[in-house]
Amino acid sequence: MKLIILLLVLFCNTWISAQTHKTTESKDFGILYLISSALEHNPSVKARRYDRLGAQSEQDAARWQYFPTPTTSYQSSDKAAAPGTDSRITTVGLKQPLWTNGRLSAGLESAQAKQKLADAALKETERDVALEVIQVCGDWQIASARARIAQDSIDKHQKLLQQIQRRAQEGLSAQSDVFLAQGRLGAVQADRISSVAAMDTALQRLMSLTGLALTAHHLQKLSLALPFHRDLIANNDLNPIESDPTLAKLESEVLLIQSEIKSNKAAMLPEVSAQLVNRHGDVSRDVTQWSIGLESRWGAGLTQLSSAKIIEQRKGAKLAEIEARKIKLKDLVQTEINNRIGYSERLKSFEQVLETSRGVVDSWNRQFLSGKKTWQDVMNSVRELSQAEIQLAETKNSLEITDWRLAVLQNGLSNLLEK
């Protein structure tokens, strides 16, 4: 029996593990998948979603303000107001606003503005999380490239070290050349250790962002290239203002301020309401009566006038922020476009430099053997080859990250996730 239970447990664990692995492997393990996972896992995004739900409830509450308000009261005194009457008084009533000078509509507009503000804040947080995921993916990719290049350089330096050690033993080279090769090998090994540490840091950060059990194997298959065709340079007519959640949030704050202005103006005039009251007890016995009433909501002194000035000033400041954001956003997108053009041009140059450096390494090693180049020249050529490989990898990485940033800024994250 115990054996059967043990086998069932092992089978279940294997099945669960297989399903988990299958789910991981079946996904299109690209940046969009990682972004979607991060949006579901990130606590800041969850908080903004709860804010949005709260704003929706606030709209419902604002709509209920148009309906009658029930009132009830109960009083009990030690003595009746007159002999033979009840000392307990029960009052039940309904109060219906008839004219509020726009206060109720201002309250509804305020709730709707808060809804838009919550939506924009959510999209802003999602955008920031997405950009962070993209950047961390880029950090891992470049660290991985540097580690790979460093390992290749280590292999080359080890061969050169063995070569110069043999020559030194034969008396063909000085011992200082051996020391130089050993020093260069140690430096490259240190570079690889640093790159591997950067890979681990990026991997841990990406796991924290997405909530996924990622490994280096997953990220090795990850491509930073955009998964869809898009000419970012020729597409300058795309308007980033239309998809910017930060700008939408500022505009929602203006709507919220406008509702405050409307509510403040409404408070300067009395409101009209109808009230139905049923009173039982005391000398009145049982009485039902209708009434029409006026009610003011004035503050102390000239509070409403002062408040109106303050709100108008806040609106002016917020409108200025909107204009500043538009300018900053256009400058940001243009800067990214200019960077992309620069990266594209540099990429072609570094490809040529890399091809030249590979030829120089082989040529200078041969010339060293024939006495035309020094050992330091040979070592420098190997280092320059690694530097050219790193420059090419970094430029390619920066180009791809810029493509993603432009795609998010110009198209909007929600449009990308729908692709």
Q: What pLDDT is stored for residue 17 in this prediction?
A: 41
Q: Which two tokens stand for residue 62?
A: 């604002």
Q: What pLDDT is stored for residue 91 in this prediction?
A: 83
Residue 55 DSSP SS3? helix
State pLDDT tens for residues 312-321: 899 999 999 9
Q: What is the residue-averaged pLDDT of the chain?
A: 85
Q: What pLDDT is stored for residue 74 in this prediction?
A: 79
Q: pLDDT at residue 7 above 50?
A: no
Q: pLDDT at residue 4 above 80?
A: no
Q: Exposed e or buried b for every residue in 202-221, given b needs 16+ CB within 10 A?
A: bbebbeebbebebeeebbee
Residue 386, CA distances (Å) to 145, 188, 357, 393 in order: 11, 10, 9, 11
Contact 157, 185 (CB under 8 A): yes
Residue 418 half-sphere exposure toward CB, CA atoms < 13 A: 5
- Distance (Å, rounded) from C-alpha 406 to C-alpha 400? 10
Q: pLDDT at residue 115 above 80?
A: yes
Give me the percent of the chain exceeding a pLDDT of 90. 55
Judged on CB neighbours under 10 Å (0-12, 13-18, 19+), 252 is: buried
Give me the percent of the chain exceeding a pLDDT of 70. 85
Residue 41, CA distances (Å) to 38, 129, 257, 326 in order: 5, 10, 33, 31
pLDDT (average), residues 65-74: 86
Q: What pLDDT is stored for residue 3 in this prediction?
A: 40
Q: pLDDT at residue 94 above 70?
A: yes
Q: What pLDDT is stored for residue 371 in this prediction?
A: 85
Contact 291, 273 (CB under 8 A): no
- Distance (Å, rounded) from C-alpha 161 to C-alpha 155? 10
- Distance (Å, rounded) from C-alpha 5 to C-alpha 11? 10
pTM recorded for the entire structure? 0.81
State pLDDT tens for residues 190-241: 999 999 999 999 999 999 999 999 999 989 888 888 876 555 444 555 567 8
Q: Which two tokens stand for residue 263?
A: 């509510």
- Residues 6 or more apart whose CB falls under 8 angstroms from that of 290 comprise 274, 275, 276
- Residues 6 or more apart whose CB falls under 8 angstroms from that of 240 comprise 329, 330, 332, 333, 409, 410
Q: What pLDDT is stored for residue 227 in this prediction?
A: 77
The 8-class DSSP code of residue 241 comes to G
State pLDDT tens for residues 331-344: 999 999 999 999 99
State pLDDT tens for residues 140-171: 999 999 999 999 999 999 999 999 999 999 88
Which one is predicted more confidently, 28 or 361?
Answer: 361
Contact 153, 382 (CB under 8 A): yes
State pLDDT tens for residues 248-305: 999 999 999 999 998 888 888 888 888 888 877 766 667 788 888 888 776 655 566 7
State pLDDT tens for residues 11-55: 444 443 443 333 344 346 789 999 999 999 999 999 999 999 999
